[in-house]
Amino acid sequence: MGQPDDKLMVNATRQETQRRAVDKSGEIQLRRNTIVGWLERMNLLVIPLILVIIAMSLLSERFFTQRNMITVMRASSIYIIVGVGQAFLMTSKNIDLSVGSMMGLIMGLVGTFIFFGGSVPLAILYAIGLGLLLGTVNGAIVTKLGVPALLATLGMMVSYRGMVNHYMYGTTVSRFPRQIVYLGQGTVGPIPMPIVIALAVAVLGACLYYFTRFGRYAVAIGGNEEAATLAGIPVKRWKTIFFAFQGLLVGIAALVFLGRLDSTNPGMGTGLELHVIVGVALGGTLLFGGKGSIWGVVLGMFLIAVLTNGLMLAGAGFFIQNILLGILLVGSVALQVSREKARGFD
Amino acid sequence: MTEQQNSTGNGIPFLRVEDISKKFQSVQALDKVSLEVGSGDLVGLVGDNGAGKSTLVKVIAGVYQPDGGTIYINDEPVVMATPHQAREMGIETAYQDLALVDHLRVDGNLFLGREILTGGFIGRLLRILDRRGMKQITRENMKKLNIKIPGLDSEPVRRMSGGQRQAVALARSVFWGSKLLLLDEPTAALGASQRREAEKLILQIKEQGIPIILISHNLEHVFAICNRIAVLRHGRKVKDCKKEETNPTEIVGYITGGVAAAQVSRTATS
């Protein structure tokens, strides 16, 4: 073949170097089926969890008892229920900051409904329907109006809280029928209902995430939205579905929390969003989208619950919890960033 | 090459564009460009930066709407308002940036947006993916195309090299039964050995009778695999001939405008 023109060659070479140099070796490291690979997918969460449990056991002898462990799990169950929805959203490069206010609003409306004699089955439908509705509203604001999820749900966070405050005006309603209380305080054998419900949600969420289009499209949309659009996936519709699903789970969590406290006031769920996002991020779901883990959500929430419970038993003040949450969020995201960089992706 | 019945031969070419023009503000990106592509064609579309190569390909792929001219598919005039419509007519494009989802495996990318579902009625309701089936078909398809990638079943494509990712993108286009393949700089990001693998794959696709339009800056590459070469300069087609009828020096002349203007206008009207 003849000599190509110099200018053209230079051109091609420049383009070559401009691209990300992924194909240096041409080889792939097969590490998915190793222990390291498994730990990595869990965002290395298992080791810190074990270390924290050992450390806490040494700090307080009341920590590693069956009763306390059940307390810890029950404390994390609400966060797990909401976190499963958040994992789908974050995988698809979205986020919902309004979950705390939404839960407060649903608890306020449904709690008042039962307080004034509403039937239990209707109350359950009411809570779930409200969740779906509010989630769909969030999704519509993001997809129809094009407001970025962070700002859209920040706005709704303020609005939903305003709504429940306006509706209840500082009152507290309590003393619900025993069926509702059972959802939060009952047990199945030795296991408290909140844990049963949280595990059921986690198992269902994991099946949806790994075995259905639901999870597949969350990954596709979060990983490369343009490619998903080019492949003919109705991206906006799926985003709305993810928001609606998050709303549905908030509705379920609201019912459990109503039963657990047997009471509600307009301040319920304040700060829930931060706790949920920290746990999901700790569990290995990327805040930049494209990758997530439902089991990581369970582990992440458990780690936070173990830490706060242990610190409390060790005599640390209540506000230490918030200091810790903030640091954990920043730390886990920093870890995600550094690991993404280490793999050669920006 | 025996089946070198290109567009000027017998039968109707799959794609014919006639007098396509496209203007971006004051820049005339395409000026009455005509091109025919049929079975057995592997057309190398060359030209300097800004000559209109990518614009032409994007018009054919339905990304841009031409200001003037007509697109014919099997001699029927068509309007392709979206990339989706172009795809439904069998025109698949492999873009420079590949349009793969990094976090999905090969099968996930191959079936992206067209996943196979399983589990009967309930499965369709819940959109349960036939993961095993899709993996199986992916394996068979990659074997048929003679593409070997370690970790085909288990690794997300982000762990793969540029060459392997390119192979996945090409395999996807072929798998979905494309009738015309548009390749925009398919090998620019690849190293030498990977480029040869990709070239082999492109030739293999051509052997299956799928016409291909290939944009490239690399003349060596174009002369190695294409059987026809079309040159664009300042939005006009200045040369379109079989590979055997020309040589790299002449093509460079057409690209840079070094060939006498009289000669250019003569070939442009042919």
Q: Decide if A55 is inside a domain.
A: no
Full residue range of the structural domain in which residue A94 is found: 19-43+66-337
Name the residue with tokens 């709303």: A247
Contacts of residue B222, Cβ cutoff 8 Å, sequence gap at least 6: B44, B46, B214, B216, B229
Counting one residue from chain A and one from chain B, the pairs whose CB atoms sit within 8 A come to 142
pLDDT over 80 (residue A345): no
B155-182 pLDDT, tens digit per residue, is 888 888 877 888 888 888 888 867 899 9
CA-CA distance, A120 to A114, in Å (whole number)?
A: 7
Per-residue pLDDT averaged across A117-131, rounded? 95
CA-CA distance, A293 to A298, in Å (whole number)?
A: 9
Q: Decide if A226 is inside a domain.
A: yes
Chain A positions touching B49 (Cβ under 8 A) are 11
Please check whether residue B244 touches A, CB under 8 A: no
Name which residue leads in pLDDT, B237 or A313: B237
Of B104, B189, B256, the CB nearest to A19: B189
Q: How confident is the model at residue B266 (pLDDT cuts 50, 70, 90)?
A: low
User: How buried is residue A302: exposed, middle or buried, by Cβ count under 10 Å (0-12/13-18/19+)?
Assistant: buried
- What is the predicted pLDDT for the residue at A331? 86
A170-203 pLDDT, tens digit per residue, is 899 999 999 999 999 999 988 999 999 999 999 9
Interface probe for A, chosen from B217, B229, B243 (most Cβ of A below 10 Å), is B217
CA dihedral B157, B158, B159, B165 (to 10 degrees): 50
CA-CA distance, A299 to A78, in Å (whole number)?
A: 14
Contacts of residue B48, Cβ cutoff 8 Å, sequence gap at least 6: B233, B255, B256
Q: Decide if A118 is inside a domain.
A: yes
Q: How confident is the model at residue A29 (pLDDT cuts 50, 70, 90)?
A: very low
Chain B positions touching A231 (Cβ under 8 A) are 99, 112-114
B61-74 pLDDT, tens digit per residue, is 888 899 999 999 99
- What is the predicted pLDDT for the residue at A114? 94
CA-CA distance, A238 to A335, in Å (whole number)?
A: 29
pLDDT over 50 (residue A11): no
Question: What are the b/e assignments for A26-53, b being 16+ CB within 10 Å?
Answer: bebeeebeeeeeeeeebbebeeebeeeb
Work out whether strand B42-46 and strand B27-37 pair parallel, antiparallel, or are unpaired: unpaired
A48-78 pLDDT, tens digit per residue, is 788 888 888 887 788 888 888 898 999 999 9
Q: Decide if A258 is inside a domain.
A: yes
Work out the mean pLDDT of chain A and round it to a whole number: 85
Quote ipTM for the complex: 0.76
Contact B100 A23 (CB under 8 A): no
- Phi-psi sector, A114: left (phi>0), alpha (psi -120 to 50), beta: alpha
A283-296 pLDDT, tens digit per residue, is 888 888 888 999 99
pTM score, whole prediction: 0.81
B177-186 pLDDT, tens digit per residue, is 678 999 888 7
Domain count, chain A: 1
Chain A positions touching B219 (Cβ under 8 A) are 2, 4-5, 8
SS3 annotation, chain B: CCCCCCCCCCCCCCEEEEEEEEEECCEEEEEEEEEEECCCCEEEEECCCCCCHHHHHHHHCCCCCCCEEEEEECCEEECCCCHHHHHHCCEEEECCCCCCCCCCEHHHHHCCCCCCECCHHHHHHHCEECHHHHHHHHHHHHHHCCCCCCCCCCCEHHHCCHHHHHHHHHHHHHHCCCCEEEEECCCCCCCHHHHHHHHHHHHHHHHCCCCEEEECCCHHHHHHHCCEEEEEECCEEEEEEEHHHCCHHHHHHHHHCCCCHHHHHHHHHC
Q: How confident is the model at residue A267 (pLDDT cuts 50, 70, 90)?
A: very high
CA-CA distance, A102 to A86, in Å (whole number)?
A: 13
- What is the predicted pLDDT for the residue at A6? 44
A330-342 pLDDT, tens digit per residue, is 888 888 888 776 6
Q: Decide if A235 is inside a domain.
A: yes
User: How buried is residue B133: exposed, middle or buried, by Cβ count under 10 Å (0-12/13-18/19+)?
Assistant: middle
Contact A1 B248 (CB under 8 A): yes
Interface probe for B, chosen from A1, A8, A245 (most Cβ of B below 10 Å), is A8
Sign, Cα dihedral of A216, A218, A219, A221: positive
Of B101, B113, B256, the CB nearest to A232: B113
Name which residue leads in pLDDT, A306 or B269: A306
Look up residue A78 and give its amino acid.
Answer: I
Give the CATH number of the domain where residue A247 resides: 1.10.3470
CA-CA distance, B92 to B155, in Å (whole number)?
A: 25
Please check whether residue B162 touches A, CB under 8 A: yes
- What is the predicted pLDDT for the residue at A35? 65
Chain B positions touching A28 (Cβ under 8 A) are 149-151, 155, 159-161, 164
Per-residue pLDDT averaged across A295-307, rounded? 91
Per-residue pLDDT averaged across A303-329, rounded? 84
Least confident of A111-120, A168-177, B72-81, B250-259: B250-259
- What is the predicted pLDDT for the residue at A34? 63
Least confident of A170-179, A247-256, A281-290, A312-321: A312-321
Q: Decide if A48 is inside a domain.
A: no
- What is the predicted pLDDT for the residue at A24? 38
Q: Decide if A106 is inside a domain.
A: yes
Q: Decide if A50 is inside a domain.
A: no
Contact A12 B151 (CB under 8 A): no
- What is the predicted pLDDT for the residue at A181? 94
Contacts of residue B261, Cβ cutoff 8 Å, sequence gap at least 6: none
- What is the predicted pLDDT for the residue at A4? 41
